[in-house]
Structure formats: C-alpha cells, structure tokens
Structure 1
Amino acid sequence: MSKYIGVDWASKGWFGVILEDDGWDADLFPSIWSLWKYHSDASRICVDVPIGLPSDEKRPCDVEAKAKLGRRQRSVFYTPVRDAVYEQNLDDAKALNEAQAGFSIQNQAWSIVPRIREVDEFLDMYPSARDRLYETHPEVCFWALNGRTPVGESKQTAAGVDRRRELLVDEYPEAADILEEAVDTYTTPSYAPMVSGVDDILDALVAAVTARRSTDAWATLPVAPGTDERDLPMRIVHPSTTNQTRLSTLEPDA
C-alpha cells in the first residue's frame, strides 16, 4: 500500500497529513525522528523546510521561488549557509553568513533554523531517507496548482483559505473533508490549540497532495538543481501541471 505525507512545522510540532490508497490520517509529531518512527514506509514525504544548505551564496531555488510568487514572496526566506545554521546565536550567525555569502539572515529565517538543523541532522543519521524526503514550499505548490499564478489572497483571510481549498479539492477531492476535520481537531479548544491555525493545515495538505503525485508530474526550482557540500539537492519540488493535465501523466507506484 502506498503512503504519501506532507509535513509543515506548526509551532508545537510537525503537522503531517498522511494519504494512503484506502484513506487518510493526520497527526502532530514532536520531531522528524518521531515522524520517521511511524512512517518510514512512506513512498514520498514532502516537507516545508530547506534541505540542501548553501556554503557561499543564496540558493537558486530560493531566488526563483521569490521571483515566481510576486506579492507572496515574503513567505520565502533565504536559507542561511550551513555554518550559520549551526551557530548558537543570531548575531554570530548573521556575521558568519554575511562573511561567507554576502547577505544577512532574516529574523524570520532564524526562527526556523532549529528545524533546518533538525532535518539536516536527521538526513545525516538516516541516509536511506534521502530518496524519500523532499523539500517543498506550500506557496510554490499553490502557485503551480493555480495555473502558475500566485494566489493573491493571504491565508490569513477567508478568501485566501477558500481559494486554496478549491485548488486542493480540484487536485484531491477528499481534501475538503481532511481540512474540515483537521481544523476541528487540532485548532480547538481555542485556548489550547495543538496547531496555531488553518494555514499550517493547508500547508501540510498541499505538501501531501504534491507527494502523492508521480515524480514525473513534478517540477523543480531550479530546473537543474545543484547539491550542497554533503551532496544534498538544493531544490524545491512542486506540481508541474494543473490537475487536468496531470491526469494523463500520473503513473501508479509499484
């Protein structure tokens, strides 16, 4: 039985949507190691976090993602260089990043550095996961599903949520039920939610439907990605086509 997973960091843990041939599930995992403990049999896992880390420049995939997203480009952060990811405070990390790559680290990017390091260390410990754990970016995926046009409305608005739900349902009809049940389960009660908002659920869900596609129905930013010093690809995977075209190119997994 094939299994495809989309994962997004959701404040208290990694929120994951699991799609299988006979249904779906969702869960909150405290770490990537916890996710792997229960789902190391997954065919593909798409995660919203940088994987290949640069050493002396901005990653081309981040630069291209910003260019594609227009007004939504603020959702993409330039990935710090590997040495900066392993620094202990922001001031030292910024100084090192500027010296090695010529750009500073955005405060928002620094907030996800522990997650970048977590996934980097996980892949170092479990090299067998390299061919199943892929970096994606939710807004790039929505851009692709929206006819290669950025979704104009923010996920913080009702119109933005509705448009992304429409795109997800067109790709995977059960997405409406997944979204409704996950919001009810993980964002309530309001005084103690496990997931901070619907945006985290949307992000994990679009990563999951991307993972569900055949890799032949994927595209990457950039088209010909390079690798980092540990031979990890520096790329962002996303759907290559809208649903109507995809149907003729999807191939079932063995």
Structure 2
Amino acid sequence: MIKSKNYKCVGIDVCKGKWVAVALMEKSFEVNKFNSIEEICDKYENADSIIIDIPIGLPENIDHIRPEVEARKYLKGKASSIFNVPCRQAVYSENYTKAIEENKANFKVSLSPLSYAICKKIREVDEFLNKVPKWKNKLLEGHPEICFSKLNNGQAVLENKTKPEGQQRRLEILKRYYNESDLVIDKYLKDVPTRKKIDDVIDALVLAVSGVIGLENKFETMPKEPMKDRRGIKMQMTYGKIF
C-alpha cells in the first residue's frame, strides 16, 4: 500500500479525442477530462510526478532507439499492446499517405492505421514540449501495461483491458497499492455519466500510482540508459520500482 506523504502524482491517458488525468494526493484524489495537454500541465505545474501514456521523444531515423523493442520482450504474452511509434516527420505529415511516405523514407517501413491514428495526440505533446521547454523530461512517458506488470510481480496482465474481466483484474491489482481505486472510477463515471468505457481512466490511474511508488522507491526507465531525440527529449518509458 502507498505510504508516501505530501505527494501529488498525475497519470494521463488519451480519452476519446481529449485527455483524462488522475491526480493522487495523500488525502484526496482528482479525476477530470481536459481538452489539451497544456491545460493539464498548467493545473498540475507543481506535481511531484506526471506520467502520460503517449510517445515522448520522437525518432527521426533508424539510429534513434526508442524503448518499444525492449518493452515487447519484457511484456511476454502482451507484446501486441506496444505499437510502433512513427518518426517525427510522419507525425507532422498532413495526411496518412504523406505519413507513410515519410516513415518509409526515414525508417524503411510503412505505417499502420493504428500508429497513424495516434499521431495527432503525439504531435500535440511534442509541440507543447517544444513550446514550453521546462516540461522536457519532466512530463514523462509511461506505458500502463508495463506499470501493471511491475505491480503484478513482473507478470503481464493478459486479460483484455477493454473487457469487464480485464478491467476488474487491473483494479484488483491497483487496490493492493491504492485502496481508493474503485472510488476514482466511480467519480469518473458519476462526472461523465455518458461514459461506459473505463479502460482509459484505469490506465491513467496506474500511471499515477506508479508515480507515487517511484517517489517511494525511486523511478526506473526502459531502457536504463535512454537516448535523447534531436530536441533533447529522452526516449524512455518510466515506472516506479517495485522489485
């Protein structure tokens, strides 16, 4: 169970074109939807940790190494949850056809519709970090499935996160560390009554919990010695150390 005092840790995930953020404090929590990453960072400027499920640190050629290959090796049985990150040139392309051309030119591979679908959000965060450089390497990338595995004795959670059994399994794991996990979900559903999809807020919650654990035990990254992209942003996935 979380023991840190006087903390404020934020987890963020994409939520139907917007963002959902969970903020955990010693005696309270907040869960809200936001229109932009800038809104979240303004609200939680003094957070002790702020971790987001979006690629941060973008490669521009095949020599720029991101954590995806290592993450897939680690997440045995769940490697499909790690998608290929487009090159920065593709992220800034005007349409899917141009994005494929840029990815082929710089990575020698095409770009799947799944990877392209998240380009708008990747670009939003990348533009924000370029605009407000104090957030570089302060707003950190994390992957929920990596965090869940760390909280689950190093075992990937194989149940589908979009199905009730997968969501219940993840909440069971979260409650070992944060006993108000159900209340976070309940408040989200109360505030957004039309939403029945809760996997996004569960993902945001695990990133916030991982942030608190990182404050207690220290943070680790995948890879341990990450490269920086051309803009000086570390290409890494961050999580709180469990064992």
Contact 1:85–1:93 (CA<8 Å) still a contact in 2? yes
Amino-acid identity (%):
32
Deviation of 1:17 (Å): 0.4
Query: Any conservation in 1 of the 2:212–2:240 contact (CA below 8 Å)?
Result: no
Q: Name the TM-score, length of structure 2 as normaliser.
A: 0.91
Determine if contact 1:225/1:233 at 8 Å carries over to the other structure. yes
Q: What letter matches 2:19 in structure 1?
A: W
Q: Does 1:213 align with 2:213?
A: yes
> Which residue of structure 2 lines up, in the alignment, with residue 179 of structure 1?
185
Q: What CA distance in whole angstroms lies between the structure 2 residues aligned with 1:219 and 1:41?
A: 21
Q: In 2 relative to 1, CA 65–20 (structure 1 residues): closer, same or farther, beyond 3 Å?
A: same
- Equivalent residue for 1:78? 84
Question: For 1:158, which of 153, 159, 164 is the aligned residue?
Answer: 164
Structure 2 stretches of 5 or more lacking a match?
1-5
Whichever residue aligns with residue 104 of structure 1, its letter is S
SS at match of 1:214: helix
Distance across 1 between alignment mates of 2:158 and 2:124: 32
- The answer to whether residue 202 in structure 2 is matched with residue 202 in structure 1 is yes
TM-score (normalised: structure 1): 0.87
Displacement of 1:59 in angstroms is 3.8
Of residues 65, 69, 82, the one that matches 1:63 is 69
Give the 3-state SS of the residue equivalent to 2:77 in structure 1.
helix
For residues 202-249 of structure 1, the C-alpha deviation after alignment (integer angstroms, 9 at most, x for no partner) is 1010011112233553221112111101110000012321xxx5xxxx
1:19 CA displacement: 0.8
Checking the alignment, whether the CA contact within 8 Å between 1:43 and 1:132 is kept in structure 2 is no
Which amino acid is the alignment partner of residue 105 of structure 2?
A: A
Correspondence 1:30 to 2:38: no
- Contact 2:18 2:36 (8 Å CA) reproduced: yes
The answer to whether structure 1 residue 46 and structure 2 residue 47 are counterparts is no
Aligned residue-pair number: 236
The within-5 A match list for 1:1-254 is: 1-57=6-62, 59-186=65-192, 188-189=193-194, 193=195, 197-215=197-215, 216-241=217-242
Shift of 1:24: 0.5
Stretches of structure 1 lacking an aligned partner (at least 5 in a row):
246-254
Where 2:67 maps in the other structure, the secondary structure is: helix
Q: Distance in 2 between matches of 1:197 and 1:59?
A: 33
Secondary structure in 2 matching 1:171? coil
2:229/2:235 contact within 8 Å kept: yes
CA contact (8 A) 1:59 1:79 kept: no
**For the aligned residues, what is the CA RMSD?**
1.7
Distance 2:68 2:150 in 1: 16
